[in-house]
């Protein structure tokens, strides 16, 4: 399977300002797989050190963290001479060895000729607890579940995927092609973008097997709550995690701590939300008090919505049956359109690389997502059906005089003056229609 992040890894490899690279992302999104592919394809020598599979590796990092000293010890341990030229060294599950995280600083300062990548489960959580984290000495890349375009490539629709990436959102597709892409899109929503799930379906075409893998992934997340936190915090994580379904079922989807447990307040669960976000398991979208630049300065961080990292896992938690895939628009409308908003949130987060927000106006109107692009504010309304209503966008436009209004819906591409409707499956191509500086 091809992953779009592979191009970013090539850029990192060839950069004159290259630093050790930290890959962040939730468990099972494909971090190890992509590094294995990259290391074996782009380097003459690929060394993978997995601190979870081989706990003894930690001992190599006790004491002096000088890179030359470490390379010598690693070479002796694995029985291979490691040279800097043409070699990639991968520290997998690095969160298990804080000393290895600290060593990245010295690789950057003293031996930048070595190509080092590090990754790990719950790395985002672990980094916050490492006092000696090498601030400013590493590069970062985030790995997400597979996007719809990556899914299309995996199922043999390379031409459609390529066209979506280059031209999607900028022109309407013929109705026949629009319908074909939409069928693929519904299957993608059901499967989600976890690589093992997608590969299993490609190989076996067995929905039962797919659902088992999804449930196994969900169970691994619950086990992580206990493995990486205290018993008290694990209970809170589980309570909040299980409440996400109910929160998304609400019409406005605004997250309320009292919906987790009666009389609960923010102070009880703020750190729990932060933990899940750092682990890459949720997206948090904050409400705007006012839509002015910079948007982050006008956000109300006490009001937010929570979305899950993957629509397939959301469907597994809900126990959705596969017959929903062949129904005309049932999946789009399921759970008050939660699947669609969840999908759009993930695509925006993946492609924009910045915070996104939402906006309401005294219960009169709501805009699902708002973000800053260049020096413009871009509002997006997400529709799960073919409803043409743009009330929220128009109220937002009259209040803030924005130049572009975007609706994302099952409808084909439509453009009229400053209003653009792009089909759901073209969300990944949003940058094609955004204003250029």
Same domain, yes or no: 124 and 165: no
| 132: its two tokens | 């000696």
Same domain, yes or no: 280 and 369: yes
The CA–CA distances, whole Å, from 30 to 230, 296, 356 equal 27, 31, 24
Same domain, yes or no: 317 and 198: yes
Q: Pick the closest to residue 43 from 89, 79, 3 (CA basis).
A: 89
CATH code of 138's domain: 3.40.50.300
Domain boundary among 142, 170, 205: 142
The CA–CA distances, whole Å, from 396 to 129, 178, 386 equal 41, 30, 21
Cα–Cα distance between 84 and 19 in angstroms, integer? 14
**Residues recorded for the chain:** 437
Same domain, yes or no: 101 and 232: no
| 118: its two tokens | 């590090």
Is the residue at 217 inside a domain? yes
What is the per-residue pLDDT for 437?
57
Total of domains in the chain: 2
Is the residue at 279 inside a domain? yes
Same domain, yes or no: 28 and 125: yes
Same domain, yes or no: 184 and 126: no
Cα–Cα distance between 306 and 274 in angstroms, integer? 11
What is the per-residue pLDDT for 84?
94
Cα–Cα distance between 211 and 201 in angstroms, integer? 10
Is the residue at 84 inside a domain? yes
Is the residue at 437 inside a domain? no
Cα–Cα distance between 94 and 348 in angstroms, integer? 28
Is the residue at 427 inside a domain? yes
What is the per-residue pLDDT for 249?
84
Same domain, yes or no: 98 and 201: no
Domain boundary among 121, 142, 163: 142
User: Under a CB-based contact definition with an 8 Å cutoff, are residues 366 and 341 in contact?
Assistant: no
Q: What is the pLDDT along the chain (437 residues), one digit of tens a residue?
A: 899 999 999 999 999 999 999 999 999 999 999 999 999 999 999 999 999 999 999 999 999 999 999 999 999 999 999 999 999 999 999 999 999 999 999 999 999 999 999 998 887 776 656 556 788 899 999 999 999 999 999 999 999 999 888 876 678 889 999 999 999 999 999 999 999 999 999 999 999 999 999 999 999 999 999 988 999 999 999 999 999 988 888 878 889 888 888 778 888 899 999 999 999 999 999 999 999 999 999 999 999 999 999 999 999 998 888 888 777 677 777 777 788 899 999 999 998 878 899 999 877 789 999 999 988 999 999 988 777 778 899 999 999 999 999 999 999 999 888 899 999 999 988 888 786 65
User: Under a CB-based contact definition with an 8 Å cutoff, are residues 285 and 304 in contact?
Assistant: yes
Cα–Cα distance between 310 and 151 in angstroms, integer? 13
Q: How many helices (H) and strands (E) does the chain have?
A: 15, 13
Same domain, yes or no: 244 and 102: no
In whole angstroms, what separates CA 353 from the centre of its chain? 10
Is the residue at 260 inside a domain? yes
Same domain, yes or no: 302 and 266: yes
In whole angstroms, what separates CA 24 from the centre of its chain? 10
What is the per-residue pLDDT for 29?
96
Is the residue at 27 inside a domain? yes
Same domain, yes or no: 120 and 180: no
User: Under a CB-based contact definition with an 8 Å cutoff, are residues 155 and 413 in contact?
Assistant: no
What is the per-residue pLDDT for 128?
56
The CA–CA distances, whole Å, from 32 to 92, 93, 150 equal 7, 9, 17
Same domain, yes or no: 84 and 177: no
Same domain, yes or no: 104 and 218: no
Domain boundary among 142, 170, 197: 142
User: Under a CB-based contact definition with an 8 Å cutoff, are residues 347 and 427 in contact?
Assistant: yes
Is the residue at 263 inside a domain? yes
The CA–CA distances, whole Å, from 398 to 29, 368, 369, 391, 404 equal 41, 17, 17, 11, 12
What is the per-residue pLDDT for 362?
75
What is the per-residue pLDDT for 353?
79
User: Under a CB-based contact definition with an 8 Å cutoff, are residues 18 and 112 in contact?
Assistant: yes
Instruction: Looking at 44-147, list the stretches that DSSP marks H as alpha helix, in order from N- to C-terminal side.
Output: 67-78, 98-110, 123-127
What is the per-residue pLDDT for 126?
66
User: Under a CB-based contact definition with an 8 Å cutoff, are residues 342 and 355 in contact?
Assistant: no
Concatenating the DSSP letter of every residue in 383-416 gives -SS-----HHHHHHHHHH--S-EEEEESS--EEE
Domain that holds residue 9: 5-142
């Amino acid at each position: 399977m091809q992953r779009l992040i592979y191009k970013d890894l090539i850029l990192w490899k060839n950069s004159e300002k290259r630093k050790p690279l930290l890959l962040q992302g939730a468990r099972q999104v494909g971090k190890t797989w992509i590094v294995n592919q990259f290391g074996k394809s782009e380097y003459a020598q690929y060394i993978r050190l997995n601190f979870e599979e081989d706990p003894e590796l930690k001992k190599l990092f006790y004491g002096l963290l000088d890179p030359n000293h470490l390379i010598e010890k690693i070479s002796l341990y694995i029985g291979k001479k490691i040279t800097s030229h043409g070699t990639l060294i991968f520290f997998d599950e690095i969160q298990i060895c804080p000393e290895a995280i600290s060593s990245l600083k010295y690789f950057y300062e003293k031996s930048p000729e070595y190509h080092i990548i590090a990754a790990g489960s719950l790395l985002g959580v672990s980094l916050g607890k490492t006092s000696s984290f090498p601030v400013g000495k590493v590069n970062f890349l985030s790995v997400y579940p597979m996007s719809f375009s990556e899914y299309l490539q995996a199922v043999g629709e390379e031409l459609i995927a390529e066209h979506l990436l280059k031209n999607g959102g900028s022109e309407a597709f013929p109705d026949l092609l629009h319908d074909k892409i939409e069928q693929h899109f519904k299957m993608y929503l059901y499967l989600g973008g976890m690589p093992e799930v997608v590969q299993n379906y490609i190989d076996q075409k067995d929905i039962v097997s797919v659902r088992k893998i999804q449930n196994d992934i969900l169970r691994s997340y619950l086990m992580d709550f206990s493995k990486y936190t205290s018993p008290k915090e694990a209970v809170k994580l589980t309570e909040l995690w299980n409440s996400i379904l109910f929160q998304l079922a609400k019409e406005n989807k605004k997250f309320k701590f009292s919906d987790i447990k009666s009389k609960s307040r923010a102070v009880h669960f703020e750190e729990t939300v932060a933990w899940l976000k750092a682990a890459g398991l949720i997206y948090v979208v904050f409400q705007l008090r006012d839509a002015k630049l910079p948007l982050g300065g006008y956000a109300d961080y006490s009001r937010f919505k929570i979305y899950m990292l993957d629509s397939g896992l959301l469907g597994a938690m809900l126990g959705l049956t596969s017959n929903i895939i062949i129904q005309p628009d049932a999946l789009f409308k399921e759970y008050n359109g939660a699947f669609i908003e969840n999908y759009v949130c993930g695509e925006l987060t993946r492609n924009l690389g910045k915070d996104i927000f939402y906006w309401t106006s005294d219960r009169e109107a709501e805009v699902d997502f708002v973000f800053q692009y260049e020096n413009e504010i871009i509002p997006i309304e997400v529709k799960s059906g073919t409803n043409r209503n743009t009330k929220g966008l128009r109220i937002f436009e009259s209040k803030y005089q924005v130049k572009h209004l975007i609706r994302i819906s099952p409808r084909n591409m439509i453009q009229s003056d400053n209003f653009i409707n792009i089909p759901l499956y073209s969300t990944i191509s949003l940058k094609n229609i955004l204003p250029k500086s």
